[in-house]
């Protein structure tokens, strides 16, 4: 495994880091204070600057208008961009659009790519992904209540979703819906494109998360599909392929989530260290003279570095052994890095005292939006259980559900 950084990639990473320093960090507090939609003119202007850097939609092929970074290169960039709550949005590789781009690139028809993918890559529209449901356990994604039935030349979708990130202002959704309830569990659902101006698509509300509803991209919505009727050719991939497509998206997606979390950790660590070196708890006694604070700093440094190496190793395994061969490592980084993120953020907030709870710094934003890291893409407990079962199977103990 070679974790060295080629000079051309390092130059791109340096450019991205400098851009955040010069343009993203200075407006973070303004966006937190005024709201995302009110800040769109400023954010759109910065997106145009990113295009001039040649790093817009970094994970998409050059021939489609992206920057053409490889899987591992994009992972490294994701760490840099994670240092700001605005980083991924400004570079047009934010969730859920980045995942939807990957789905459409791999499984979309030429017509779907022309209508939905290319405008996404150009940053002209946004999208959302509707899977989680309020009345079904998210830890069991085969148990969906939303249905899509054939009626003539259309799919008719009925059901309710929530935590549909960025639905507010999105041009279309990719919806997971049961198309064949009699099929085996992992073949029941399909993914279907639904323009948000389709009659029957109703954004019920932006869900308040830790006291903040959010707006535009920075939001999580409850959405009702009340007899949404879309043409049969809005099916993505084949019928019954919903979970296969989701799994293809989730493995690499977890790498990028984890690298983004590491970027968040690095920013929080930097803020904590600056605070420890400058904030006095008594005349001539900086906070960093306290042994407890020193312990926070030492543990955070070790945990962040360990997390990064685990993720880079997992990315190497995906490249060399494929998603199936890397599944143990993918499960491990999901819960390990999410735990590191929570601990480092908590220490940084604690080191800042009352200031850490305000939106004067990005720490409160990170905590509000990223506490869910231990829940989305499979709760930590599910990943730990699955990993342990697979390990125990190699010792002759078969508990069921290893695969």
Would you list the domain boundaries of the chain? 7-94, 127-240, 243-393
| Beta carbons of 35 and 42 less than 8 angstroms apart | no
Check whether the bond before 96 is cis (ω within 30° of 0): yes
| Beta carbons of 25 and 17 less than 8 angstroms apart | no
* DSSP alpha helix (H) spans, 91-181: 97-107, 110-112, 118-122
Q: Which of these CATH numbers, 3.10.270.10, 3.20.20.70, 1.10.540.10, 2.60.40.1150, describes 7-94?
A: 1.10.540.10
* DSSP alpha helix (H) spans, 279-379: 291-325, 327-352, 363-370
Collapse the DSSP code of 154 into the 3-class scheme (helix H, G, I; strand E, B; otherwise coil) and give the result.
strand
Question: Looking at the domain 127-240, which fold is it?
Answer: Butyryl-CoA Dehydrogenase, subunit A; domain 2 (2.40.110)
- With a CB cutoff of 8 Å and minimum separation 6, the contacts of 176 are 130, 131, 141, 144, 146, 189, 190, 191, 242, 246
DSSP state of 209: B
Nearest in space to 344 (alpha carbons), one of 271, 275, 289, 290: 271
The CATH H-level superfamily of 243-393 is Butyryl-CoA Dehydrogenase, subunit A, domain 3 (1.20.140.10)
| Beta carbons of 120 and 100 less than 8 angstroms apart | yes
Instruction: Please return the burial class of 82, using the count of CB atoms within 10 Å of its CB with bins 0-12, 13-18 and 19+.
Output: buried
Q: What is the pLDDT of residue 400?
A: 66
Q: Report the alpha-carbon distance of residue 286 to residue 297 in Å, rounded.
A: 14
Q: What is the pLDDT of residue 318?
A: 87
Residue 177 dihedral angles phi and psi, to the nearest 5°: -140, 150
Residue 57 dihedral angles phi and psi, to the nearest 5°: 50, 60
Kindly state the greatest CA–CA separation across the chain: 78
Q: What is the pLDDT of residue 401?
A: 56
Q: Report the alpha-carbon distance of residue 362 to residue 295 in Å, rounded.
A: 23
CB atoms near residue 354 (< 10 Å): 7
Distance of CA 211 to CAs 132, 194, 206, 214, 364, Å?
Answer: 21, 30, 12, 9, 12
Nearest in space to 207 (alpha carbons), one of 186, 191, 221, 224: 221
The ranges of the chain with pLDDT < 70 are: 1-2, 251, 400-403
| Beta carbons of 165 and 146 less than 8 angstroms apart | no
Token digits of residue 246? 């989701």
* Residue environment code for 316-334, b if the CB has 16+ CB neighbours within 10 A, otherwise e: bbbeeeeeeebbebbbbbb
Q: Report the alpha-carbon distance of residue 345 to residue 218 in Å, rounded.
A: 20
Token digits of residue 313? 């190793």
Collapse the DSSP code of 339 into the 3-class scheme (helix H, G, I; strand E, B; otherwise coil) and give the result.
helix
CB atoms near residue 299 (< 10 Å): 14
Nearest in space to 201 (alpha carbons), one of 231, 171, 181, 180: 171
Collapse the DSSP code of 143 into the 3-class scheme (helix H, G, I; strand E, B; otherwise coil) and give the result.
coil
Q: Which residue has the tokens 């009340």?
A: 226
Q: What is the pLDDT of residue 137?
A: 81
Token digits of residue 191? 């993914």
Condensed to tens digits (0 to 9), the pLDDT of residues 76-98 reads: 999 999 999 999 999 999 999 99
């Amino acid at each position: 495994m070679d974790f060295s950084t080629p000079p051309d990639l390092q130059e791109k990473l340096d450019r991205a880091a400098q851009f955040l320093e010069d343009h993203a960090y200075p407006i973070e507090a303004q966006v937190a204070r005024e709201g995302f939609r009110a800040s769109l003119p400023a954010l759109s202007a910065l997106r145009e600057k990113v295009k001039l850097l040649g790093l817009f939609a970094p994970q998409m092929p050059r021939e489609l208008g992206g920057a053409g970074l490889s899987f591992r290169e994009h992972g490294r960039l994701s760490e840099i961009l994670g240092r700001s709550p605005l980083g991924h949005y400004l570079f047009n590789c934010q969730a859920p659009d980045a995942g939807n781009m990957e789905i459409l690139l791999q499984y979309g028809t030429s017509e779907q790519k022309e209508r939905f993918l290319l405008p996404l890559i150009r940053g002209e529209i946004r999208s959302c992904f509707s899977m989680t449901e309020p009345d079904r356990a998210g830890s069991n994604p085969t148990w969906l209540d939303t249905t899509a039935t054939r009626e003539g030349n259309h799919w008719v979708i009925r059901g309710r979703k929530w935590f549909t990130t960025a639905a507010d202002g999105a041009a279309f959704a990719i919806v997971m819906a049961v198309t064949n309830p009699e099929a085996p569990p992992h073949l029941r659902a399909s993914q279907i494109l639904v323009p948000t101006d389709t009659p029957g698509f109703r954004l019920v509300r932006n869900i308040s998360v830790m006291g903040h509803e959010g707006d535009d991209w920075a939001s999580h919505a409850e959405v009702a599909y009340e007899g949404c009727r879309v043409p049969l050719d809005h099916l993505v991939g084949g019928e019954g392929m919903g979970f296969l497509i989701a799994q293809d998206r989730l493995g690499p997606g977890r790498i990028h989530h984890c690298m983004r979390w590491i970027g968040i950790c690095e920013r929080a660590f930097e803020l904590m260290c600056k605070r420890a070196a400058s904030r006095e708890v008594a005349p001539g006694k900086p906070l960093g003279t306290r042994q407890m604070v020193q312990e926070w700093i030492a543990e955070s440094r070790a945990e962040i570095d360990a997390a990064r190496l685990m993720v880079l190793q997992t990315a190497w395994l995906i490249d060399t052994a494929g998603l199936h061969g890397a599944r143990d490592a993918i499960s491990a980084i999901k819960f390990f890095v999410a735990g590191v993120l929570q601990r480092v953020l908590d220490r940084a907030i604690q080191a800042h005292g009352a200031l850490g709870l305000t939106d004067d710094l990005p720490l409160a934003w990170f905590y509000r939006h990223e506490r869910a890291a231990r829940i989305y893409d499979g709760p930590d407990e599910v990943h730990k259980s699955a990993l342990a079962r697979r390990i125990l199977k190699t010792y002759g103990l078969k508990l069921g559900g290893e695969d």
